[in-house]
Amino acid sequence: MEANFEFNSFQEALKFVNMVGKLAEIQNHHPNILMHNYNQVKITLSTTESGNNLTIKDYRLAKGINRLSRPIL
């Protein structure tokens, strides 16, 4: 499972990466994170123990990441 996120600035992208990192630690499930082009982030999820297949852990983390990427009003 892969998702790409684009932000208005380097600072916003970096803040998002750090929030994803905190969420990953809480859930004890760690994605591959690539920050590129100064304002873009690519996140890849899979579960190593299942042969890099998707598991409930991946879906749970993806849901949390999607919530982080939306602005809070």
Question: What are the residue ranges in the chain where pLDDT is below 70?
Answer: 50, 52, 70-73
Query: Tell me, what's the pLDDT at 73?
Result: 36
Q: What is the pLDDT of residues 23-41, one digit of tens each?
A: 999 999 999 999 999 999 9
pLDDT above 70 covers what percent of the chain? 92
Q: CATH number, domain at 37?
A: 3.30.1360.20
Mean pLDDT of the chain: 89
**What does DSSP assign to residue 2?**
E
In a domain, 6, yes or no: yes
- Number of domains making up the chain: 1
In a domain, 59, yes or no: no
In a domain, 32, yes or no: yes
Residue 29: domain span: 2-52+65-69
Query: Tell me, what's the pLDDT at 50?
Result: 67
Secondary structure (DSSP) of 9-53: SHHHHHHHHHHHHHHHHHHT---EEEEETTTEEEEE--BGGGTSB
